[in-house]
């Protein structure tokens, strides 16, 4: 398929599309959690018990919601890209552990695992040319 071989020169555009899509969706899902207040954060933060953290669920829930919302925005614009990717991988690891711990199985944890894999790969690739971090 030689006619597709020239698409490699548009990798920065591909990264931009990925960043905008993932960033927008993480803002969309994270913002209601962030606005949920201490009661919502406590419920969210209790997910840390599945990775052995049993204290300060409100704090951890707030950090998870903030990471998802602000992290989504930073991914979208490509600022502090690699540190944010790392934080989102950790956040998604906890989410996957929570789904597995609750008995949802791989089907329930699949979305968190898929996103974690994507952010882990993006951590190494970087944000691309069309970003605030452009290197």
What is the residue-wise DSSP string for 26-51? HHHHHHHHHTTHHHHHHHHHGGGGGG
pLDDT at residue 25, as a whole number: 98
* 33 Cβ contact list (under 8 Å, min separation 6): 40, 41, 44, 61, 64, 65, 68, 69
Query: At residue 71, does pLDDT exceed 80?
Result: yes
The Cα–Cα gap between 69 and 85 comes to 13
The structure tokens 């030689």 sit at 2
Query: At residue 59, does pLDDT exceed 90?
Result: yes
pLDDT at residue 133, as a whole number: 84
């Amino acid at each position: 398929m030689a006619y597709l071989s020239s698409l490699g020169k548009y990798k920065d555009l591909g990264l931009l599309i990925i960043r905008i899509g993932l960033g927008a969706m993480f803002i969309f899902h994270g913002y209601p959690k962030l606005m949920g207040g201490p009661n919502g954060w406590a419920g969210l933060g209790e997910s840390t018990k599945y990775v052995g953290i049993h204290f300060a669920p409100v704090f951890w829930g707030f950090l998870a919601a903030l990471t998802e919302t602000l992290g989504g925005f930073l991914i979208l614009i490509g600022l502090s890209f690699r540190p944010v990717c790392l934080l989102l991988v950790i956040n998604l690891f906890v989410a996957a552990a929570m789904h597995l711990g609750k008995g949802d199985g791989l089907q329930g944890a699949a979305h968190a695992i898929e996103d974690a894999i994507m952010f882990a790969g993006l951590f190494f690739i970087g944000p691309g040319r069309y970003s605030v971090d452009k290197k």
